[in-house]
Amino acid sequence: MPTHPRPDQASVPAGSVPVEVAAVGETMVVLCPAPGEPLEHAERVAVSVGGAESNVAGYLARLGHRTTWVSRVGDDPFGRAVVRHVAAAGVRVDQVCVDPAAPTGLYVKDPRPEGTAVHYYRAGSAAARMDPATLADPALAGARVLHLSGITPALSASCRAMVEHAVADRPLPHALVSFDVNHRARLWPAEQAAPVLRDLANRCDLVFVGQDEAETLWGVTDPTAVRELLPGPGTVVVKDGAVGATALLRDTGPVFVPAPRVTVVEPVGAGDAFAAGYLAGLLRDLDPVRRLRLGHLVAAQALTSSGDNAPVPPWAWFEKLIDAPADAWSPLDLTDLGATT
């Protein structure tokens, strides 16, 4: 079995070397009633923290990579809770600005039999005041990856300008720009979001998009059609839920890897986990098949957890599975994930 390098995060003092991944976007406090209890009947809620980009940074940190989260929070208890939570995952928070004039964003989960609904309370939040200057910190200059999502340009005009600046002007000159389309219909309808997200995605280096959201946004129903719509990036990864994921590289044909079977506790955050796994594979110079496998395996951790950020097994567990023969991967069953790890 080949050995894949693992970054030695523990031996490197914080701030002494460039981060590998800078993830930029809003993270909010999350309120959630007991599993299966509709919000309208809840008498108590659990308080946690969630945000797409910081989720990616957190999973990458757990996989041994040096990450930083770039954002703004309010000068309030929720903001302090968010920063503490992200830092506890091993993510640097040096580039987080505390804004005394705007609140930290909030979202509330509403568990129901048909799926978990989400209600946002983020208009006018501190993070919505991010702008192109947010990316000017010299500490970000050495990052290998700048990770963004389609959530951020929906937050405000200044946030959209920041993302435009990131993909057009490349303020982090040595960074691969990674973009998760992450369309949020509650922030902007598909007809408004579709042309903006297509343009932004097409100017990035690596794009993640769900097959379902690609169909909603652009009316395309298969990975090849998605790739034809987005010819600019070096790689487009199309995720199709429990079916699997396809990586479409500019110089090679499509690579498809089926998803392992899992018992789903909650799907929220699984896309972020997948992106983190794929990015970890890229940072370790794995081939496309192993990158996709690693994405699926990290997503499985999220799918079998009720939180936005699940713990991950030791690297040896991932390494064994990403190097498995094809005939061992295809029937992979992680429905009893706790016993497997």
Catalytic residues: 272
Per the listing, tokens 């910081």 go with 54
Contact 52, 275 (CB under 8 A): no
What's the rounded Cα separation, in Å, for the pair 294 and 245? Answer: 11
Of 68, 60, 80, 78, nearest to 19 by C-alpha is 68
Strands ordered across the beta sheet of 235-240: 96-99, 67-74, 21-24, 145-149, 176-180, 206-210, 235-240, 244-249, 254-258
E strands, the chain, in order: 21-24, 28-32, 46-50, 67-74, 96-99, 106-110, 117-121, 145-149, 176-180, 206-210, 235-240, 244-249, 254-258
Q: How remote is the C-alpha of 269 from its chain's centroid?
A: 8
